[in-house]
């Protein structure tokens, strides 16, 4: 429920942030 959803979202969002950070760094 309420605890699982944010973690699932954070894991997904973390991947996006990593990819964007790589693009910005490059």
Residue ranges per structural domain of the chain: 1-26
Three-state SS letters, the chain = CCCHHHHHHHHHHHHHHHHHHHHHHC
pLDDT at 2: 65
Q: In the prediction, which pLDDT does 1 show? A: 57
Residue 22: pLDDT over 60 = yes
pLDDT value for 17: 84
What b/e string do you get for 5-25 counting C-beta neighbours within 10 Å, with b at 16 or more? eeeeeeeeeeeeeeeeeeeee
Residue 10 has pLDDT above 80, yes or no: no
Here the tokens at position 9 are 């979202």
Q: Name the residue with higher pLDDT: 22 or 3.
A: 22
Of 13 and 23, the one with more pLDDT:
23
Q: How far is CA 17 from CA 2, 4, 9, in A?
A: 23, 20, 12
Q: Regarding predicted confidence, which is higher, 21 or 9?
A: 21
């Amino acid at each position: 429920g309420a605890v699982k959803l944010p973690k699932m979202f954070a894991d997904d969002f973390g991947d996006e942030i990593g990819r964007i950070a790589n693009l910005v760094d490059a």
